[in-house]
Every structure is written in structure tokens, then in C-alpha cells.
A and B are shown apart, each in its own frame.
Chain A
Amino acid sequence: MDPDGFAAFFAETEPRLRRALVAAYGPERGREAAAEGLAHAWQHWARVRSMANPAGYLYRVGQSKTRERLRPPLFPAASSRAEPWTEPELPAALDALSERERVAVVLIEGFGWTYREVAEMTDVSVSSVQSYRERGLRKLRDALGVTEDA
């Protein structure tokens, strides 16, 4: 199934979109938002394929599709997800960051994105991404008791 390159686009974009939206909205809402964004791309493929920044566009589609739910935290405690290898403090520490801080820290520190890549995905300036990353990283290290990445 590859009408005009959609499958190839999907394979390249899905991990990036999912990680960005999961960082923003947590595992459940983030994944759902990514699925909605990619479904939108499928439905409007002729238009999406011609865009200069389709992943950034789908990120915003996912943002608009995900419903606000009154059920914090976005990142459930590890014990409720039966993931014994997850350090218990990490979900709560992520939850305490702002959405933009979380996206910047997770994508840059966790997945090695550049400031520009994060800026293009989230539609904010490079300098803002830099400041979100620094602020978020400081908060995360404080919450986890980490002084440096080692």
C-alpha cells in the first residue's frame, strides 16, 4: 500500500511525530494525537505531500485533535503501567515541566534533535527552544537529583 509515497512518508514521519506528541501530551493522548495527525495526512495526502514542513503541520493537526481531559497526570506513574524498569520519579518529573519544556528536553536530550528541528516541528523560534530546553533540563535534573548526565 503506497499510493504516491504515503507509506514511505509514514515510515519516516511516524516516529518523529509520535515522540514529539507523546513528549507534549503523555503516552495516551500523545499517541492518539499522532494517529489523528497521520490519518489526516492520509485523507489529505495530495495537499500534505506538497507542504514544505508536513511534519510540523501534522503536529499542529494532532494538537488540535487531541481533546483536553481532566485526568492528570499526563505521565502515569510507572507502577500503574507495569513497567518495573522505569524509574518511578521520571514520569512525575516530566509531568512537572511545561509542555514546551518537555518537548524540547525530550527531543533534544533523548532523541538528539537539533534546536532547529524542534523549532520547525513545534512552530516556535530556535531561541525559544533553546531557553525551553535549558529551563526544562534544569527542572528535570533537580527533580531527579541529577547534577550532570552521567
Chain B
Amino acid sequence: MPDLGTRLRDYIDASADPVTLDEVTDLRLEPASPRRPLRWLAVAATLVVVAGVVAVFLAEHRSNPTRTLASESWLTPLGAEPSQPVVPAGWKVLDIDDVRLAVPRDWTVPLRGGCGATGVLIVPLPPPDLCSEWNKPRAGVVVEHGKATAFGPLAEQVTATITDSGQRRALESGAVRSTRGWREIRYGGVAVRIPPSWHHAQLGVANLERCGQGMFRVGAPPRFFLGDTRPVPHCDAVTALPIDAIGQGVWMRRATGELSQMRDLLTQGTIDGLRVAIGRPPDRYQDPSLDLLVDGGTEQVRISIGVGLDASTARAIIRSIHRSGP
């Protein structure tokens, strides 16, 4: 067995990932502005306001002064975050259940086997073996039971991009972005923090621009939605689902049903005293988001999180869940 010093060094270095330069500078692009003459006056005024808020808070919560803090061990069951592979130009990055992979932008999920097609993503949705032997898809990838198997002329390039999906990585240990400077959004007695650059989008106006489109997609700034109703446009019957590259965003709305009955449950636990179940949404191929059911006591809130390419943001959002005021 190595000596005690080596054991200590190995344990400390392996237990916490290095802090990255991007992580430190990303949300703080501008160094602090020079001191201003009225700075101390502003600080004093802020202290007075804070003291007032604290006094009100204590007066309101004196009967229940304890606060259960987060127990996050259930969110970090696995090992270190893997490095992300290089994605060929013009390809889209997709999350399908536990698998992340990149494919050419025009590849779709065929609903009837994709017979004769040159670019398909075969997920458990389409019934298998619908095509004649001579007319099977010529290029594609089969994703099933957490495994992806590419075939056809691009098989090697597709295989090189396969790694863990964003949803999976968001629930593993790894970098967590600092939420300092983030904005708080609230719905149904539950609040989360999101990056300040994310903007509010109205459901029904900015949500769906074409049939089969996911809530969170790349090519537009990340958005958040607050509300219960997702508009469903009239769509003609299709033979293939267009799957968008994964994007970032948050959607909070009311939920019904028990946490224990959540479909595709991945994990559950308590954050800031709130029971939280995390799973995948029913339409998980088109909306490869994390689906959270938060039990706020009197009502339940459903939170969809588009993980995007960088799981550290989703990790921070999940850990920021807390009870909001009435």
C-alpha cells in the first residue's frame, strides 16, 4: 500500500475536479468597475434594507426557524465528467436517453423503419425489421438500451462522437457553474436560478415554429418558459421525426400526479427540503430534457431543463431549486 502522503494526495486530487479558467471568467467578463465616491453610501443603504428584510423574515418564520438544507449526494452517483469529442462541422449533437452522439444535420428518426434512407436514427420508437432485406437503411445508427451502434459509410465518424448524454452527465459529479449573478424565476411556490442572459419567451408565440420541434434548441439564445399550456400546432402526418440539436432552457409549470409515478424515473431526493424526482419526458426524443417533478407541499411544479452541451449549467440549476415565497 502506498505511504500515507501518497494516499492523501491521490484522494484529495481525485475527489474534486480542477477549477477551470472559463468557469471563473465566463460569467464575469468584465472586471469590477473602479470604486465610486458614493460606494460606501450605497453599501450602508443596502445594509439597512437587508436588516429590514431579515427582521421581517425572522418575524414571519419565528415559529419555524429551522431550514432543511440540500442533501445532494443522490445527485452525484457516478464518476468524473468525460471529455467531449470533436463534432464534425455541419453535424448536430443529439441526446438519446443515455447516449450523446453527433450525426449529419439532415438525419431523422423514421417512423416506419426508414427503408432505403441514407441517414436514420433508429430509436426504440419505430418498429424494427419493417424493411425488406434489399431495402434496409443504408446509413444510420441504432440507439437502444444505452448503446449506440452506427452502420453505413459514416459509421466510424458517428461512433467517434458517442459519449454520455447531457441528462446523464447533469446527474453525475462534475463542474457546477457558479450561480452568482443569476436571476431567480418562480412558479407555483418553487424557484430556480438561471443564467442572466436567458430571456423569457411566451408560450404560444415563440415556442414552436414547426411541427416536431423541441422546446430547447440551438441557434437561438436560451429561453425560459413559465406556464401550463404548450401550444400544439396542427401537424400533417409525417413519416419521420426531425430531431433538433440539443439546446438549453427551462420550462416551469404546474404538474399533477405523484412523484413516485413518474415515468422514466432516473433519481429522486430532496433539495432544500423539497422532494424532487428527476426523469425523462414522454416525448424524450424530440425534447431530450430532464424532467423534474418538485413537490412544493400544496402543489407540484414540473420543471423541464434543456441541458445543452455543457452539463455544468444544468447541475447548477438543479442545485438552485428552493421554495419561493407566496
- A positions within 8 Å CB-CB of B: 1, 3, 7, 10, 14-15, 18-19, 22-23, 26-28, 30-32, 34-36, 38-39, 41-46, 69-71, 75-76, 80-83, 85-87, 90-91, 94, 105-106, 109-112, 140-141, 144, 146, 149-150
The answer to whether residues A45 and B31 also contact, given A71-B71, A110-B9, A110-B12 and a CB cut-off of 8 A, is yes
Whether the pair A22, B16 counts as a contact (CB closer than 8 A) is yes
- Set of chain A residues within 8 Å of B12, measured between Cβ atoms: 19, 22-23, 106, 110-111
Residue of A7, A23, A70, A109 near B4 (CB, 8 A) is A109
Q: How far is the CA of A80 from the CA of B21 in the complex (A)?
A: 28
Any A CB within 8 A of the CB of B206? no
Whether the pair A18, B16 counts as a contact (CB closer than 8 A) is yes
Q: How far is the CA of A77 from the CA of B188 in the complex (A)?
A: 36
Selected A-B contacts with CB under 8 Å, 27 pairs: A7-B21, A10-B21, A14-B19, A26-B15, A32-B176, A32-B178, A35-B24, A35-B178, A36-B180, A42-B24, A42-B28, A44-B32, A46-B31, A71-B72, A80-B77, A81-B76, A81-B173, A82-B77, A83-B79, A87-B7, A94-B11, A105-B8, A106-B12, A109-B5, A110-B8, A110-B12, A111-B9
Report the nearest A residue to B73, measured CB to CB. A80
Q: How far is the CA of A69 from the CA of B32 in the complex (A)?
A: 29
B-side interface size class: 35 or more
Q: How far is the CA of A52 from the CA of B10 in the complex (A)?
A: 30
Any A CB within 8 A of the CB of B228? no
The answer to whether residues A69 and B70 also contact, given A23-B12, A39-B28, A110-B8 and a CB cut-off of 8 A, is yes
Number of A-B contacts (CB under 8 A): 109
Whether the pair B69, A70 counts as a contact (CB closer than 8 A) is yes
Report the nearest A residue to B21, measured CB to CB. A10
Q: How far is the CA of A90 from the CA of B4 in the complex (A)?
A: 10
Q: How far is the CA of A31 from the CA of B23 in the complex (A)?
A: 12
Whether the pair A140, B19 counts as a contact (CB closer than 8 A) is no
Whether the pair A69, B69 counts as a contact (CB closer than 8 A) is yes
Report the nearest A residue to B71, measured CB to CB. A71
- Set of chain B residues within 8 Å of A19, measured between Cβ atoms: 12-13
Any A CB within 8 A of the CB of B298? no
Report the nearest B residue to A43, measured CB to CB. B32
